[in-house]
């Protein structure tokens, strides 16, 4: 990490990188604005408070809301943060600005194509739609442009990762004996996890969904595409979270007035996420009959292991923030909380996001539990959970982090700290209303992914409060969240239009209290961790995929999935291996 304070600002030192980051943030913020508007329409329509669209268009809005916020906003912002973190921590520009612009261009083109396909759903005569929701697996089918756009977007992220690995390789040649700077270590481990996890969705999109949407093949195996999606669909949660973790570990302690408690613990956490994030996706499929119960139990067990890096993060980040508070004069067991810089929107937003993530972690344990998941499966509990995680832990951290990052890449001071503070608090309050109501509605059995608030001849009951009260909370929460986004975009726009400043923000990041020198160097062995992660994926998915192909009518479907057993998957693998061995033996003999 850079150790000098008061040196050149980032925008002066790395102008090409600052331009890449600004472009990434611009696309992220445009997507945030559109996606948030769609979210407001959803909240008011679903609760029957105010309806401006036909219920048939609700699913177009729902798909747009999910894709633009969960994929486009988060990942473009992530790319901006990672590009900043690599250049800053390695203290060198990217190897090729042209290559950097290439992945920005490819991701942008892909995002535009996917968005056009989604918006085409509003114009029936256009013959183009993609009402397949954020999860986009079969049997729902989208226009080919949607899948092609997604494929281009993912390839763009792969190129972005290659850009950062090239920077690291060049740095390593000049610093053969040094430890990987922490922020670059976080970026590289996250990207290795991303490469492994996106293989599933790449296979699904390129080999099944695009040919199917083009009419080149008649059918697909729905359970296979669904499983390949969740192979990618759970680790993408950590792909969203890792930039938030990067900011919590390396920026939040500085904003609190202190230093990171432990660099080695941070490295352990990122290695654990690399190893454990991908082999758990089947816990999203507890109710799928084509996957044996034994595989689901294994996925549940693996998922529970993911609590460990989250708990380590809670300990390390809270310890770092407490250290900062005590440096500012805080005392006592809890009174030190009052010494924290609560008037700073960047600090307050990240701190509130971390608190919400703790609540999201508890509701996530319910999702991961194989038996208790049946109670809330496909109910409003599920969107209530991920509005706490990706909708607050990630999104609120990104917005709060922008109040510290945007001045660095634009050279302009934040337009208004009071507006920023109001914005992050408004987001927190809005999410308390909405996610609380969604969780309680889920416990009452109210389903998700439907435009109508009430089924005919059926009445939902709540043990506490009323269904009407839950609807009001969801509508109120959604409205506050949208207004919060408007305030954020207004503040950022006026910041970018402001006058240049010699020192727009204090960008110095102090060294950790416990540095990397006290940790084993094996933590930096990225090749070894990649190999172990790959082996865990093979062990977790080989037999389930074999069973799905065998029981679901082959690679391209054609039959209904049947209840599966572990032995069926074992039999198929043994048959395949035996057949291959006999063939090889016949050739040799």
Tens digit of each residue's pLDDT (9 = 90 or more) over 32-71: 999 999 999 999 999 999 999 999 999 999 999 999 999 9
- 208-249 pLDDT, tens digit per residue, is 999 999 999 999 999 999 999 999 999 999 999 999 999 999
Residues 6+ apart with CB under 8 A from 35: 64, 65, 68, 69, 72, 73
**Nearest Cα to 479, choosing from 444, 526, 430?**
430
Retrieve residue 282's tokens. Answer: 């089947």
∠ Cα 111 112 115 (to 5°): 85
pLDDT value at residue 559: 57
Average pLDDT over residues 103-130: 96
Choice between 103 and 454, residue whose per-residue pLDDT is larger: 103
- Cβ burial 295-320 (10 Å sphere, 16+ → b, else e): bbebbbebbeebeebbebbeebbebb
**Nearest Cα to 68, choosing from 140, 142, 118, 123?**
118
Please report which confidence band the pLDDT of residue 4 belongs to, taking 50, 70 and 90 as the band edges. very low
575 pLDDT above the threshold of 80 = no
Retrieve residue 570's tokens. Answer: 């074992």
Q: Of the listed 83, 323, 440, 448, which one is catalytic? A: 448
CB atoms within 10 A of CB 260: 29
**Do 321 and 259 touch, CB atoms closer than 8 A?**
no
Q: Is 379 helix (H, G, I), strand (E, B) or coil?
A: strand
Please report which confidence band the pLDDT of residue 566 belongs to, taking 50, 70 and 90 as the band edges. low
Q: Of the listed 65, 385, 412, 471, which one is catalytic? A: 385
**Do 114 and 146 touch, CB atoms closer than 8 A?**
yes
564 pLDDT above the threshold of 60 = no
560 pLDDT above the threshold of 80 = no
Q: How many angstroms separate the CA atoms of 132 and 121, rounded?
A: 11
Q: Of the listed 208, 261, 347, 386, which one is catalytic? A: 386
Please say if 88 is a catalytic residue: no
Q: HSE on the CB side for 485, CA within 13 Å?
A: 24
Sign of CA dihedral 80, 85, 88, 90: negative
**Nearest Cα to 186, choosing from 407, 408, 516, 506?**
516
Average pLDDT over residues 156-161: 98
Q: Is 500 helix (H, G, I), strand (E, B) or coil?
A: strand
Q: Rounded to the nearest 10 degrees, how much is the dihedral formed by the CA atoms of 541, 544, 550, 553?
A: -90
3 pLDDT above the threshold of 50 = no
**Do 420 and 21 touch, CB atoms closer than 8 A?**
no
- Ramachandran bin of 297, using left for φ above 0, alpha for ψ from -120 to 50, beta for the remaining angles: alpha
pLDDT value at residue 461: 87
334 pLDDT above the threshold of 50 = yes
CB atoms within 10 A of CB 42: 21
Mean pLDDT of the chain: 93
Please say if 238 is a catalytic residue: yes
**Nearest Cα to 35, choosing from 111, 101, 106, 105?**
111
**Alpha helix positions (H), 47-73:** 58-66
**Do 458 and 414 touch, CB atoms closer than 8 A?**
no
Average pLDDT over residues 354-377: 92
**Do 566 and 294 touch, CB atoms closer than 8 A?**
yes
**Do 274 and 113 touch, CB atoms closer than 8 A?**
no
**Do 543 and 33 touch, CB atoms closer than 8 A?**
no
Q: Is 253 helix (H, G, I), strand (E, B) or coil?
A: helix
Residues 6+ apart with CB under 8 A from 564: 289, 290, 291, 292, 547, 548, 551
Helix (H) or strand (E) holding 343: none
Per the DSSP assignment, residues forming a β-bridge with 447 are 379
Please report which confidence band the pLDDT of residue 464 belongs to, taking 50, 70 and 90 as the band edges. confident
Please report which confidence band the pLDDT of residue 573 belongs to, taking 50, 70 and 90 as the band edges. low
185 pLDDT above the threshold of 90 = yes
**Nearest Cα to 240, choosing from 396, 27, 74?**
74
Q: Of the listed 51, 179, 377, 449, which one is catalytic? A: 449
Percent of the chain clearing pLDDT 70 (strictly above): 93
Q: Is 6 helix (H, G, I), strand (E, B) or coil?
A: coil
pLDDT value at residue 365: 92
- Cα 14 to the center of its chain, rounded Å: 27
Q: Rounded to the nearest 10 degrees, how much is the dihedral formed by the CA atoms of 454, 361, 484, 439?
A: 20
**Nearest Cα to 350, choosing from 396, 418, 406?**
396
pLDDT value at residue 454: 75
Percent of the chain clearing pLDDT 90 (strictly above): 85
**Do 84 and 405 touch, CB atoms closer than 8 A?**
yes
- 405-452 pLDDT, tens digit per residue, is 999 999 999 999 999 999 999 999 999 999 999 999 999 999 998 998
- 246-259 pLDDT, tens digit per residue, is 999 999 999 999 99
Which residue, chain included where needed, has tokens 């048939």?
Answer: 56
Q: Which long-range contacts (CB under 8 A, 24 or more apart) does 52-60 make?
A: 55/451, 55/452, 56/451, 57/121, 57/122, 58/451, 59/121, 59/131, 59/133, 59/451, 60/118, 60/119, 60/121, 60/122, 60/129, 60/131
Please say if 234 is a catalytic residue: yes
DSSP 105-146: HHHHHHHHHHHHHHHGGG-GGG-----STTT--TTS---HHH
Q: Of the listed 387, 412, 439, 440, which one is catalytic? A: 387
Radius of gyration from C-alpha coordinates of the chain? 24
pLDDT value at residue 567: 60
Q: Of the listed 25, 82, 238, 245, which one is catalytic? A: 238
Average pLDDT over residues 302-315: 92
Residues 6+ apart with CB under 8 A from 514: 261, 262, 263, 264, 265
Q: Of the listed 65, 234, 267, 439, which one is catalytic? A: 234
**Number of helices followed by number of strands (H, E) in the chain:** 22, 0
CB atoms within 10 A of CB 511: 13
């Amino acid at each position: 990490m850079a150790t000098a304070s008061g040196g050149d600002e980032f925008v002066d030192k790395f102008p090409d990188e600052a331009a890449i980051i600004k472009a990434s943030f611009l696309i992220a913020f445009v997507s945030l604005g559109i996606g948030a508007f769609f979210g407001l329409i959803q909240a008011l329509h679903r609760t029957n408070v105010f309806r401006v669209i036909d219920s048939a268009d609700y699913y177009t809005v729902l798909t747009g809301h999910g894709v633009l916020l969960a994929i486009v906003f988060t990942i473009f912002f992530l790319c901006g943060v990672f590009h900043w973190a690599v250049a800053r921590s390695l203290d060198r520009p990217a190897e090729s600005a042209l290559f950097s612009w290439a992945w920005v261009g490819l991701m942008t083109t892909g995002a535009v194509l996917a968005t056009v396909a989604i918006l085409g759903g509003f114009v029936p005569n256009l013959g183009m739609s993609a009402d397949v929701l954020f999860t986009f697996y079969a049997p729902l089918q989208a226009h080919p442009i949607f899948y092609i756009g997604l494929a281009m977007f993912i390839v763009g992220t792969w190129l972005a990762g290659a850009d950062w690995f090239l920077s690291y390789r060049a740095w390593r040649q000049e610093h053969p004996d040094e430890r990987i700077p922490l922020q670059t270590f976080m970026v590289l481990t996250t990207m290795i996890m991303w490469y492994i996890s996106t293989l599933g969705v790449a296979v699904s999109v390129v080999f099944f969904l695009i040919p199917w949407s083009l009419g080149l093949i008649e059918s697909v195996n729905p359970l296979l595409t669904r499983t390949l999606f969740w192979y990618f669909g759970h680790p993408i949660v950590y792909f969203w979270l890792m930039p938030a973790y990067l900011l919590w570990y390396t920026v939040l302690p500085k904003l609190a007035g202190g230093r990171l408690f432990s660099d080695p613990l941070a490295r352990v956490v990122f290695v654990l996420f690399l190893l454990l994030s991908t082999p758990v996706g089947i816990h999203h499929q507890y109710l799928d009959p084509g996957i044996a119960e034994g595989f689901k139990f294994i996925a549940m067990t693996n998922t529970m292991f993911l609590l460990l890096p989250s708990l380590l993060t809670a300990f390390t980040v809270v310890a770092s923030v407490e250290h900062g508070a005590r440096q500012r004069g805080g005392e006592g067991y809890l009174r030190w909380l009052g010494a924290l810089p609560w008037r700073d929107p960047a600090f307050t937003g990240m701190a509130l996001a971390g608190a919400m993530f703790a609540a999201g972690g508890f509701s996530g344990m319910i999702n991961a539990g194989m038996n208790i998941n049946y109670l809330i499966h496909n109910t409003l509990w599920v969107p209530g959970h991920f509005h706490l995680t990706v909708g607050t832990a990630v999104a609120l951290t990104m917005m709060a982090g922008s109040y510290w990052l945007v001045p660095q890449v634009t050279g302009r001071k934040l337009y208004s700290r009071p507006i920023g503070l109001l914005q992050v608090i408004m987001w927190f309050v809005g999410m308390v209303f909405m996610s609380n109501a969604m969780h309680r509605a889920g416990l009452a059995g109210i389903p998700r992914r439907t435009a109508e608030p009430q089924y005919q001849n059926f009445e939902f009951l709540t043990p506490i409060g009323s269904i009407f009260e839950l609807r009001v909370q969801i509508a109120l929460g959604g409205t506050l969240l949208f207004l919060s986004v408007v305030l954020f975009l207004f503040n950022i726009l006026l910041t970018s239009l402001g006058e240049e400043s010699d020192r727009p923000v204090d960008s110095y990041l102090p060294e950790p209290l416990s540095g990397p020198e006290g940790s084993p160097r094996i933590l930096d062995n990225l090749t070894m961790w990649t190999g172990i992660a790959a082996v865990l994926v093979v062990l977790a998915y080989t037999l389930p995929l074999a069973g799905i192909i065998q029981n679901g009518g082959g690679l391209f479907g054609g039959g209904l999935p049947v209840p599966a057993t572990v032995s069926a998957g074992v039999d198929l693998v043994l048959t395949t291996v035996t057949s291959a061995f006999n063939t090889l033996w016949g050739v040799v003999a």
